Structure 1
Amino acid sequence: MTSTHTHDGGVARSGVALREIGHKAHRMNRLGRRFLGANLAVLGVAILMIAVAANEMFINDHDRRLLMWVLVPAVLSAAMVAMLMARPVARDAKRICDAAMRVADGDLSARTGVVRNDELGEAAEMFDVMVDRLNAIEAERSLMLSSISHDLRTPLAALRAAVEAIRDGVAEDPDLYLAGMERQVRALTFLVDDLQLHTRLVSGTLQLSRARIDLTELADESMEIVRPLAESRSVKLLLEATERVMVDADGSQLARVIRNLLDNAIRHAPNGSVVLVQVVRNERSVTLRVHDEGLGFPAEFRDRAFEPFTRADPARDTRTGTAGLGLSIARGIVSAHNGTVVLGDGPGGDVRISLPIPAVS
């Protein structure tokens, strides 16, 4: 509680400090005074030099008085121009200060509204870009918390119900309850692992242990790991590959991507259907395709499929996966290998990974 209070107090003090600075700047109009002072200083120096030059050139008194009368309107005009130039600058500076105060108070919808073709305009544009990024981060944070809390609620509720049933002696088959509890604990473990990996990908701290590996063999091994799940749903796994293709990659991380795609395809494939894995060598790359005969990706989901915590299932049913990090993690890992991940046109679910083929040394 203490740290939260300190943080809120710090934000409040920052907002108050910004507000005081903004009001002070508006009241004193320091920019206008500086513009005026600079112009008057330049004119003063010009008048002094003209007076010295006139004296040295022996200009008579009549001409000297005439010259001074010409300079007086020039001084007044310069002062007026200085004030006119300072006014929009001061106004736009105040807009930036007001926007900064609103952001400090937690309003991430604040924008400066300043459009200028100078350094002040660039500062205002950069400020708006910064707030846009803060807004995106806050939206992702809110989505993350909402998604995690939703995905934790179901397995925790199931665990609690199973524990209470065993404790109260109402579980007719305790072993069956324990098996269900094991599945929920496994789901929680997968969720935590995905969150940790997502954090490492976002922070750029994922370390890859690259080695020359056979992508076809890696795909075959991944299929063997998920085969029990496929058999439980009467789904047949089929691998199509005409040759072995070597890539420089972290085998464990790349295998995780393939397993995630296979797991997702099996869960969405109709019973008795086929999940196809194809490995096709191109001129400078290799494509691994995972295809199922399900309904495929909804049109409204395709544009945001690789965003974190996004799922095609709006109900976030844990039976079809958790957290909505699978495709996001796949993109992050494949990007770390200088590859790409795209959704195929279907029909059915279709995800394609492209990886560069190392040059033959």
Structure 2
Amino acid sequence: MTASVFAAVAGIALGCALVVGALGLLALRLLSRGSLVAQIVVVAFATVASVVSGTAAVASLMYLSAHDLIVFYAVAAVAGVVSLVMASVLGRSLARDNKYFRAAAASIGRGESVLSPDRHTSLEFAALAGELAATADRLTESREREERVEASRREIVAWISHDLRTPLAGIRAMAEALEDGMAPDPERYYVQIRGQVDRLSGMVDDLFELSKIHSGALQLSLERVSLYDLMSDTVADLAPVALAKSLDLRFEGERGLMLQADARQLARAVGNLVMNAIQHSPADSVIVVSATRHVDGRAIISVVDAAGGIPEQDLGRVFEAGWRASEPRTVSAWGTGGRSGGAGLGLAIVQGIAEAHHGLVTVTNVGNGCRFDLLLPQHPLG
């Protein structure tokens, strides 16, 4: 074939393809809001028509026999019909997949999941189904977490309402007795009222502290802290409370541990853990507070009590704000003189303070009691 003949053939084929392609694009534009099956059939038809029209135009110039042209048109017609049927089948399959994924997306919105990644033979659709299934799982986890947070919020409100009612009722009764001159020992009443006010103040402080933690507004004032000094001071502050319950409160561990921390917040966390142990330990038992160094360099503050342990099903919830078992293990020791009934906030505050220091707090059952471990890095913001 000479160059001029090849150019003529290519030009004829290109011209036919451009005409058919333009008509196909116009048809697709008109069907832009139509069925996916129709759009795929148009693409397949345009492809076949482009080939057939170009070939027919060239063949009409080359073939000398009308019989040969008829044979070519017959073959092209059969091929075109087969192509359109295959395009229609593919389009219907895609339409079914589209319907399936629409139903699946609607089910995810309702909190259900009907996805099956193995349903599709197409690799792309199988991957899409897998992603949607993973999204459904994440949404389910998010809903469950939101439900737990909402349940925790309701528990906080319920416990706070309950715990506020008792001291308020006591203050009212003692104030009325003093007002009516019926108090047999006014000085004792004044002391009791002051104690109840301190208790209420401690609850308010806990709520404020927890709100700062949850809102991310807790700001740390980092300084170099000696764990021995901080923990010995905390143990000394709470020793009278432990002694009143006939408890042996001990401090053990290394003396030279230093880390960057907020001394006030860290003392609050340790105090809450110790007070939690004091509230639940039986008389004549031992509470051991210790500070050691983990193999990875972190400091470990441990509080081990003999309070009988926590049921395994409850271990995962002890740090939830507002949660309490049969008796509260989440008492706060701060602002209450160590005698608050608590509102399920103490351990939640400990967890928030630990996370603010880029650390964590854990709880395990050991022997006849519990072990709370507060793990803190030496440089939390480094």
TM-score class, shorter-chain normalisation, is: 0.7 to 0.9
Determine the structure 2 residue equivalent to 1:192: 204
Q: CA deviation at 1:43?
A: 1.0
Count of residue pairs the alignment pairs up: 322
Q: CA deviation at 1:153?
A: 1.7
Aligned residues with identical type, % of pairs: 26
Q: One-letter code of the match for 1:155? A: L
SS in 2 for 1:51: helix
Kindly indicate whether the alpha-carbon contact (under 8 Å) linking 2:171 and 2:193 is maintained by their aligned counterparts in 1: yes
Matches within 5 A, 1:23-62: 33-58=34-59, 60-62=69-71
SS in 2 for 1:144: helix
Matches within 5 A, 1:100-115: 100=109, 102=110, 110-115=111-116
Query: How far apart in 1 are the matches of 2:189 and 2:35?
Result: 78
Query: How far apart in 2 are the matches of 1:35 and 1:178?
Result: 83
Determine the structure 2 residue equivalent to 1:222: 234
Determine the structure 2 residue equivalent to 1:11: none
Evaluate the alpha carbon distance shift between residue 346 and residue 306 of structure 1 in structure 2; reply closer, same or farther with a 3 A threshold: farther
Determine the structure 2 residue equivalent to 1:285: 298
Determine the structure 2 residue equivalent to 1:348: 369
SS in 2 for 1:113: coil
Query: How far apart in 2 are the matches of 1:251 and 1:152?
Result: 31
Taking structure 2 as the reference length, the TM-score comes to 0.73
Query: How far apart in 2 are the matches of 1:90 and 1:54?
Result: 39
- 2:353 alignment partner, one of 333, 336, 346: 333
SS in 1 for 2:344: coil
Q: CA deviation at 1:215?
A: 0.4
Output one character per residue of 1:284-310: Cα deviation in whole Å (capped at 9) or x when no partner.
233222223332333332233333333
Kindly indicate whether the alpha-carbon contact (under 8 Å) linking 2:152 and 2:320 is maintained by their aligned counterparts in 1: no
Q: CA deviation at 1:196?
A: 3.0
Evaluate the alpha carbon distance shift between residue 189 and residue 226 of structure 1 in structure 2; reply closer, same or farther with a 3 A threshold: same
Determine the structure 1 residue equivalent to 2:250: 238
Q: One-letter code of the match for 1:115? A: S
Query: How far apart in 2 are the matches of 1:300 and 1:139?
Result: 15
Kindly indicate whether the alpha-carbon contact (under 8 Å) linking 2:319 and 2:348 is maintained by their aligned counterparts in 1: yes
Query: How far apart in 2 are the matches of 1:152 and 1:181?
Result: 19
- 1:68 alignment partner, one of 64, 71, 77: 77
Matches within 5 A, 1:1-361: 33-58=34-59, 60-97=69-106, 99-100=108-109, 102=110, 110-116=111-117, 117-119=126-128, 121-123=130-132, 125-164=134-173, 166-167=175-176, 169=180, 171-283=183-295, 284-314=297-327, 321-344=341-364, 345-357=366-378
Output one character per residue of 1:82-139: Cα deviation in whole Å (capped at 9) or x when no partner.
1233123213313422553x4xxxxxxx213223323355245424522431332133
Query: How far apart in 2 are the matches of 1:138 and 1:188?
Result: 29
Query: Which structure: larger Rg?
Result: 2
Query: Unpaired segments of 5 or more residues in structure 1?
Result: 1-29, 103-109
Kindly indicate whether the alpha-carbon contact (under 8 Å) linking 1:234 and 1:272 is maintained by their aligned counterparts in 2: yes
Query: How far apart in 1 are the matches of 2:143 and 2:207?
Result: 21
Evaluate the alpha carbon distance shift between residue 97 and residue 299 of structure 1 in structure 2; reply closer, same or farther with a 3 A threshold: closer
Q: CA deviation at 1:208?
A: 1.4
Q: CA deviation at 1:352?
A: 2.2
Q: CA deviation at 1:50?
A: 1.5
Q: One-letter code of the match for 2:84? A: V
SS in 2 for 1:206: coil
RMSD: 3.2
Q: One-letter code of the match for 1:88? A: D
Output one character per residue of 1:8-55: Cα deviation in whole Å (capped at 9) or x when no partner.
xxxxxxxxxxxxxxxxxxxxxx99954213312211221221222222
Query: How far apart in 1 are the matches of 2:276 and 2:268?
Result: 12
Taking structure 1 as the reference length, the TM-score comes to 0.76
Q: One-letter code of the match for 1:97? A: A
Query: How far apart in 2 are the matches of 1:179 and 1:140?
Result: 38
Once the two structures are overlaid, the 10-residue window that deviates more, 273-282 or 35-44, is 273-282
